[in-house]
Amino acid sequence: MPEWIRQAEQDAPKPMKGSAGFLLQDLDAVTASLTLPWSSGVVEGQLNERL
């Protein structure tokens, strides 16, 4: 993953370069989101609906 992100920062179109930089800033969280079995999909946005 880190190698792909570094390559994207160098070779990808401008919008992807910015996104790649943000991924590197919190690489542990990105890796966890792709590898752990948990999801927040069921509760996503429910707090905002009640406010």
Structure tokens at 31: 């890796």
pLDDT value, residue 28: 92
27: Cβ contacts below 8 Å, ≥ 6 apart: 1, 2, 5
Alpha carbon distance 38, 20 (integer Å): 23
pLDDT value, residue 48: 60
pLDDT value, residue 47: 63
Q: What does the pLDDT look like over 8-50, one tens digit per residue?
A: 888 888 888 888 888 888 899 988 888 988 777 776 666 665 5
